[in-house]
Amino acid sequence: MALLQQPFRDVANLLGVAWWARIDTRQPDVTYWFGPYVRRSSLEASLPSILADLREEGPAVLEHRLLRTRRREPLTIEHSTADS
């Protein structure tokens, strides 16, 4: 079934109407993108397990937003602070 859904996800992402979860953590400072999802309800159903997995890594802060957007690689972005 997942193979049949992939073309729909790809088209939705290309058009910028796919649903993505943007999850930002602090300590470590990382942004994670999970998606694309055609339906928001599918993303909401997956979100608890995604958040649970990230919480196991022990970030100091974990914030998330659900966005309808278009994304490409990279889906994991590490933010570094430049030393002065």
Give the 3-state DSSP-derived string for the chain, with helices as H, strands as E and coil as C: CHHHHHHHHHHHHHHCCEEEEEEEEECCCEEEEEEEECCHHHHHHHHHHHHHHHHCCCCCEEEEEEEEECCCCCCEEECCCCCC
> What pLDDT is stored for residue 84 in this prediction?
39
Q: What is the full per-residue pLDDT of the chain (84 aa) written as tens digits?
A: 566 778 889 999 999 999 999 999 999 999 999 999 999 999 999 999 999 999 999 999 999 999 999 999 899 999 986 543
Which pTM was predicted?
Answer: 0.85
Query: Cβ distance 21 to 47 under 8 Å?
Result: yes
Report, in angstroms and rounded to the nearest whole number, the Rg of the chain calculated over CA atoms: 14
